[in-house]
Structure 1
Amino acid sequence: MSLTPASAHSLGFLHVSTVRGTGVSYVHDPGAVADPSLLLGLYASGRAALVRRGTAEPGGPDDLFLCDAAEPFELQAPDDVTLHLVRIPRYALTLTDAQAGALSGRAPFAGGAVAPLLGSLVREVAGATEPYSARTALHLAGTVAELVALLAVEDADAGPRGGGEGRDSLVRHLRAHVDARLWDRELTPGTLASAQHISIRYLHKLFEDHGSTVGRWIQHRRLEEARRELARPGRSDTTVSAVARRWGFASATHFSRSFRAAYGVSPSAWRDARLRPAREAGATDG
């Protein structure tokens, strides 16, 4: 037997479905998904084991999991279980391939600050009894995608540590300072070290212990925020040059070259692909 589809609908660029059953299993067929996607699952009720890559990972009410939609997996449910599944296109996620891989390899989780918010939103959109307007649906879909991206940020912050609580706290302060001044073209390892009253050598050591370099982290965060802005609904008239200036890049050329190196597409191509559902939604509303 298999879990029975209870409902399915589109929400902007997302596909949302609910399955339920008793003492049964659900097998995901990757061949049924045409485009690169992640599958977000939420155990709404009951318990089940997520079986993938030869490992069974137990999960229960309010636990979330993420899977690469291109990989098969099975859910084994010995008792009554209800599961919400959300398919998110990769183009909609401001995640690197490494971040997406890390999230899709994690065991089911519910802790932290982000997962409960994401779980509540998934419950809401999966259980909605009235359809949302196209514009509202698109914004809700964007919020789901943003919260998934925040899971990756939270996951990175909770990753391997290199030197005790005091140094970890300092790294968090350094990253917060970077985030607050991404627009500033004068943001450099030197100005960052000076602002925190530490040596440049020690600054580099702190970031090395967390698996990065200062310059790479600054550029990574600038690219993340620029990519997020380019994909935001209602920003189809925002130029690549304006986004480059806003996030501290020396020139549009430098920004475009860095963006393509990081994500494999140009900023304009990313914006057009991400905003296509918004334009289609607008045409439907009209």
Structure 2
Amino acid sequence: MAAALHRHVDSASGRAFARLARNIFGNVRLDFGTADEDRSRMTSAMLGSCRLTRLEADRHVVFGDHVTAAPEDPDAIKLIVQTEGIASLIQGGLHAPVSRNAVVIYDPSRPYMLTNSTEVRQLLLQLPRHSLPTTAVERLSQPFTAHADKDGMCRILLSLMDSTIHEIDHLDEAGRSSVGQTMIELVRTMIGADLLQARPLTNPLDVLLRRIKDFIDINLERPDLTVSMIARRMGCSVRYVYRAFEDECLTPSEYIWDRRVQKAAVQLQAAGGYAGEISEIAFALGFSSSAHFSRAFRHRYGVSPSQWRKAGMS
């Protein structure tokens, strides 16, 4: 199957898998041996300056001897996490297992070999080299590993990567850029970026708040988007979610409804103007009735949804 581009998402399967891998990751060589290359699938999306990729493949080996051989090859730091299967990365004389509860961060411009000894499912994040301080990049002469059971930042990043790739089609460009920037900040913090050159989010509540806001933006249309559900997905208590919002002017629930109203306002500006459209937008964003939506909209913008739409169409 040929590679395909759907708006901001690249995808490929079968024989097109290796070609898309080279386009995305640089001059890598994939060796499937006797394994079935046709079972390979990949989905990849840009998140501002970052790229997030999910792949499924039969056992294979990736040789990264000359990843940045050409000027157009990506000059990015790479992060990999295994969601299924067994893999290991060898670079600079260090053997780094790739596992479900850990991330392995490495500099792919340095020769490496990634051995996927079973069928695998992986998430990979590429972030621009210039987004990390030089001191941090220099620490990547060998792979850097962070474990979710020991590092709260790692746990948040893994959850963010997983939820983002599942909801990527529901994120607009601004949302994708925001999520990508959050991922950069988490990686900077995990590898101990120089505080004089970087602005890592060292306060766990600051990181949690950014993470919650990203999650809310991805899931605005879910009717079960509640504080309790958010707490479960964040791996924390409801009380901790409220603590993250202590310096905000809104409670978590108020923030959800405010973001829904803002998204509705954008959709109304692009609306076609047919009968029932306002109600459709309201119900799609979780409002229980047109009256509920109208009250919330008027409170936020000072006009009714119909007046807002007419102003946008004039």
Q: What is the TM-score of this pair, normalised by structure 1?
A: 0.49
Higher radius of gyration, 1 or 2: 2
Question: Which structure features the higher share of helix residues?
Answer: 1
Q: What is the TM-score of this pair, normalised by structure 2?
A: 0.45
